[in-house]
């Protein structure tokens, strides 16, 4: 049996002020190609009832978090992309998945969600927080399938083991980044300008967040495909263990 993997959804109000929950198909396709069954999770409390059936949680990209969730005033947050319903839902999903010791993979905003969910914080706006000429362009104008800057993985990290690379190039669509790394987490990758590009929790079966978008790269770059394969393999192992213990 293939593992069911819950996928968080974006929320916007762009159509006649009516809320819309959605997920880009590239996330669904990447999970399917890696051997999982994607299950989109609506931004409602009732989605928690699905978790006994799930074997993993994928946290997708999207808009900014309310900075009050990590105890800070507004320092450059883009409020047009803030959805308190999504913020609350994703943090509840993280808490429930962690309680069940379920594999969790965070992508872009998803990596930031992990940081907040486990007690860390964010840089709310890189250009204003780091006004120096050495800062890379982390919000690329190129197409999503194009890579634009390098990241360096930390030897000994799960990310390094999964990608089998010390350095590789990624795409980049963010103006926020992890600032304070949560307790028991470590930095797994950085950009040349020092911006944190990945965090993970050592000893966990799979608890990893990356700041780039491997779902847009996995059909072309094996470093991206390996992330999804490693995640789904961890979900498959979780499912097998759960069935054994039933």
Query: Could you give the residue numbers annotated as active site?
Result: 108, 213, 215
Query: Which residues pair with residue 152 across a beta bridge?
Result: 167, 190
Residues 6+ apart with CB under 8 A from 144: 171, 173, 213, 216
**CA–CA gap between residue 47 and residue 91 (Å, rounded):** 12
Kindly state the tokens that stand for 104: 């969790």
What phi, psi does 54 have (nearest 5°)?
Answer: -90, 155
Distances (CA, A) of 107 to 73, 94, 149, 201: 24, 13, 17, 15
| DSSP collapsed to 3 states, 90-104 | HHHHHHHHHHCCCCE
- Name the maximum alpha-carbon separation found in the chain: 57
What phi, psi does 68 have (nearest 5°)?
Answer: -60, -20
């Amino acid at each position: 049996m293939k593992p069911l993997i819950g996928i968080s959804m974006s929320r916007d109000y762009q159509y006649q002020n009516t809320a819309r929950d959605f997920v880009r198909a590239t996330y669904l396709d990447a999970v399917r190609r890696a051997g999982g069954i994607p299950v989109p999770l609506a931004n409602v409390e009732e989605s928690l009832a699905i978790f006994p059936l799930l074997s993993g949680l994928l946290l997708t990209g999207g808009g900014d978090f309310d900075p009050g969730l990590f105890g800070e005033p507004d320092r450059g947050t883009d409020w047009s992309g803030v959805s308190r319903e999504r913020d609350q839902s994703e943090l509840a999903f993280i808490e429930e998945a962690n309680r069940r010791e379920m594999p969790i993979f965070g992508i872009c905003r998803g990596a930031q969600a992990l940081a907040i969910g486990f007690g860390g914080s964010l840089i709310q706006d890189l250009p204003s927080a780091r006004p120096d000429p050495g800062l890379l362009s982390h919000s690329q104008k190129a197409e999503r399938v194009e890579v634009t800057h390098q990241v360096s993985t930390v030897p000994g990290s799960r990310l390094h083991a999964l990608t089998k690379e010390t350095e590789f190039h990624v795409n980049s669509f963010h103006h926020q980044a992890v600032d304070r790394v949560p307790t028991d987490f470590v930095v797994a990758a950085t950009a040349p300008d020092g911006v944190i590009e990945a965090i993970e929790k050592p000893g966990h079966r799979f608890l990893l967040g990356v700041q780039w978008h491997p779902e847009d790269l996995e059909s072309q770059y094996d470093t991206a495909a390996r992330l999804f394969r490693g995640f789904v393999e961890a979900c498959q192992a979780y499912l097998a263990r759960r069935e054994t213990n039933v």
